Amino acid sequence: MPEEEFNFTKAYKEIEEINEWFRQEDINLDKALEQYERGMELIKKCKERLRESENKFEEIKRKYEAEGGTKNS
């Protein structure tokens, strides 16, 4: 079965929820390990998505600069 398409906004919100969960006073160690691993997984995916987006922005910029879309004065 194909992996669900990554949703940056949902992932970021889940990271915030995990961060908030860690602020509670009474933390279960086993649950904390699960939450930590999930958070790290989401952070990794978010970084990858940001890197892909940055590369795409640069690609678009180069394309239009090469076509004379921006002029340096």
Q: What is the pLDDT of residue 3?
A: 55
Structure tokens at 69: 């879309």
Q: What is the pLDDT of residue 5?
A: 87
Tokens 């640069």 belong to residue: 58
pLDDT at 69 over 60: no
Tokens 């879309």 belong to residue: 69
Tell me the mean pLDDT in the region 13-36: 96
Q: What is the pLDDT of residue 7?
A: 96
How far is 16 from 21, CA to CA, in rounded Å? Answer: 9
On whether the CB atoms of residues 1 and 35 are closer than 8 A, the answer is no
